[in-house]
Amino acid sequence: MSKKDTTVEAMLAEEYREFNELLAVIEKCLADRNFAAAAGLAQMAARRAFPTHIGIFASPRLERLVLELGRRGVRNLAPRCEDNAGRARKVLHILTYARQVGGDTRFVWRWVKLDENSQHSVVITSQNEVERVHSIPEPLKETVARSGGFVCALSARSLQPLERAGELRALCRGMDMVVLHTYPNDIVPLLALASGCDSVKVAFSHLSDHTFWMGASVSNLIVHLRTQSPSFLSGRRGLNPLETPVLPIPLEFPGAEPERATARRELGFEPNQVILLTIASPFKYESLGGPAFLDLVMPVMRRLPQAHLIAVGPEMSGAWHSASIDTNGRVRPIGTKWDNDLLYRAADVYLDSYPFSSITSLLEAGSQGVPLLSCRAPDPDLRLLGPGAPGLDNSMQMADGPDAYDRLLARLITDVEFRHECGERVRASILSLHCDKQWLAALDDIYRRLDGICPGKALVAESDCFQTGGMDLALARLYAAWERKGFPAEIGEALSHVPYLSRIVVLNRLRCRGFRPELLQFLPSRIAHAVRRMTRQVRRGA
């Protein structure tokens, strides 16, 4: 093991130790019936485990604490009364955020649009955290309304998980089925479903299969978007690997217009130029110790001047700026762009982000008949970060290493017939599984499984499984630069609604466990705010 890996391994061990110290304080809060503090600290613990990585992919211990808190600390409000005279299946989809863009929101919208035989409703648990930037998308609201359901965002503030859970529980009761499409660190659905919803079948839509997540303890079925390693599911997730149904990501059947030639002209490209396209968040292109995306692509870009690469997500800075200069502008990072239909239609070849795949973008490109190229990670532990989904596994071009990638990319650029053949094959494969009747058949299988399932929950493990293998080290490095608040700020947020005397007790417990609350957090809130205000005024005066 390298010195760098040893450092990352030590960091993982320390962060997991802190995580367990935090759970010990939550246990004390539950014993004292200090439910507000327990809820705030439970949300804090979940946010320590995602999006950063602390060596675990699930925490049965934390889920048990949240379930106990949900049973004891969440009020049972009157259920919402809905007219359902026709007795269509009532499905409630729960999102953490509904954004104008994002795979989870599109997933729900397309599910509702395709499944016309059910009444769908959508609840968003934390929309107030993003509502200044993202309003609930109109297409989502319109499609849900046509199904006879409702769309609503929980009204309680995000710092009050118990109140939000009470609202959500009332909405869940009376539903036939609840589907969780939530962020991995959202504890509100667990609190809500911990009690009072025994007749409701719960499915967990596994949208983040490479990270820690919570929700299996309240779910009857885990719905995967691609096949998973049975040993990983049982050993690291704590699930029964025999119950692993796959539901393809629903896609809209692509229209015929505009044609590729028309789209290319609109973008200003000549007929002899070859457009390469890649779309992903910038961090998905960064190295995990081996070659990064640009290391694979740039040798071919230098040799073949007809190739032009458009990268949606990365900005014109750092290595991307250097690549653009190196190719006289033929590498074009254009930053975030939400409407990419024209780019998909104009592209000749789609290049998957590497080492971290962007599966929805692959499917959307491939459904347009664009050939797909990716590179297989040399370390088997890292292949969970790679591409994989129904329709992709046996139809896209997958290179075994940089040399094979170089050869495949060069051939896709120079061989028009090969390019067309690859594009048609991947298009037919994707559309056969992800659209219309084919997708509905897979959904019906999910419904049948839920209708006939026993009351047992999907999480079967009793204890956490902490490891520092290759996958853990890679994820820790990948998310190391992810911005998150320090412990003092997190503690202040977690305990902001706890009465003063109870807060002092919890702060002292945290301090004894090695955490370092700010001294101001030991003061009554009004005095602490006044001191902070005076401090800011003094600094401005200086």
Note the pLDDT tens digit of each residue in 83-125. Answer: 555 568 999 999 998 876 667 888 999 999 999 999 999 999 9
Are 448 and 475 in the same domain?
no
Evaluate whether 398 touches 376 at the Cβ level (below 8 Å). Answer: yes
- Least reliable range by pLDDT among 95-109, 205-219, 245-259: 245-259
Q: Is residue 461 part of a domain?
A: no
Which CATH number is 231's domain given?
3.40.50.2000
State the Cα–Cα distance between residues 145 and 119, nearest whole angstrom: 9
**Contact 361/279 with Cβ under 8 angstroms?**
yes
In the predicted structure, residue 150 carries a pLDDT above the cut 60: yes
Instruction: Specify burial of residue 271 (Cβ count, 10 A radius: 0-12, 13-18, 19+).
Output: exposed
Are residues 240 and 224 both part of a single domain?
Answer: yes
Answer whether residue 172 is part of any domain. Answer: yes
Cβ burial 448-471 (10 Å sphere, 16+ → b, else e) = ebbeeeeeeebbbbeebbbebebb
Average pLDDT of span 405-418:
97
Range of the domain at 180: 89-250+440-452
Write down the pLDDT at residue 234: 93
**What's residue 139's pLDDT?**
87
Question: What's the half-sphere exposure (Cβ side, CA atoms, 13 Å) at 344?
Answer: 21
Average pLDDT, the chain: 89
CA distance 159 to 163: 9
Q: Which residue has the higher pLDDT, 1 or 162?
A: 162
Q: Could you give the number of structural domains in the chain?
A: 3
Based on the fold, state whether residues 24 and 128 are members of the same structural domain.
no
Chosen domain end from 452, 484, 518 = 452
Check residue 3 and give its pLDDT.
66
Q: Of 230, 222, 225, nearest to 459 (Cα)? A: 222
The answer to whether residue 460 is domain-embedded is: no
**Pair (281, 389) in one structural domain:** yes
Say if residue 521 is in the same domain as residue 416: no
* 2 pLDDT higher than 60: yes
Q: How far apart are CA 65 and CA 27, in angstroms?
A: 7
- 115 and 220 share one domain: yes
- pLDDT of 534 higher than 90: no
Let me know: does 34 contact 498? Beta carbons within 8 Å. yes
Domain boundary among the residues 452, 480, 513 is at: 452
Both 97 and 240 in a single domain?
yes
Same domain flag for 244 and 167: yes
Residues linked to residue 204 through DSSP beta bridges, in sequence order: 180, 222
Place of tokens 């485990």: 49
Among the candidates 452, 481, 499, a domain finishes at 452
Decide if 73 is inside a domain.
no
Q: Token pair for residue 143?
A: 């499609």
What does the alpha-carbon distance between residue 113 and residue 31 come to, in Å, rounded to a whole number?
Answer: 46
pLDDT at 142: 93
Evaluate if residue 533 carries a pLDDT over 90: no
Inter-axis angle of helices 103-114 and 436-452, to 10 degrees? 90
Is 528 domain-assigned? yes
Q: Using CA atoms, how far apart are residues 407 and 410, in angstroms rounded to an integer?
A: 5
Percentage above 90 pLDDT, the chain: 59
Residues 220-234: pLDDT tens digits? 999 998 888 888 999
Q: Is residue 363 part of a domain?
A: yes
**Nearest one of 6, 168, 205 to 79, comparing CA atoms:** 168
* Whether residues 184 and 244 fall in one domain: yes
Same domain (yes/no): 425, 444: no
**483 and 362, same domain (yes or no):** no
Same domain? For 429 and 444 the reply is: no
The answer as to whether 82 is a domain residue is no
Q: How many residues does the chain have?
A: 542
In a domain, 105, yes or no: yes
CB-neighbour burial class of residue 367 (10 A; exposed 0-12, middle 13-18, buried 19+): buried
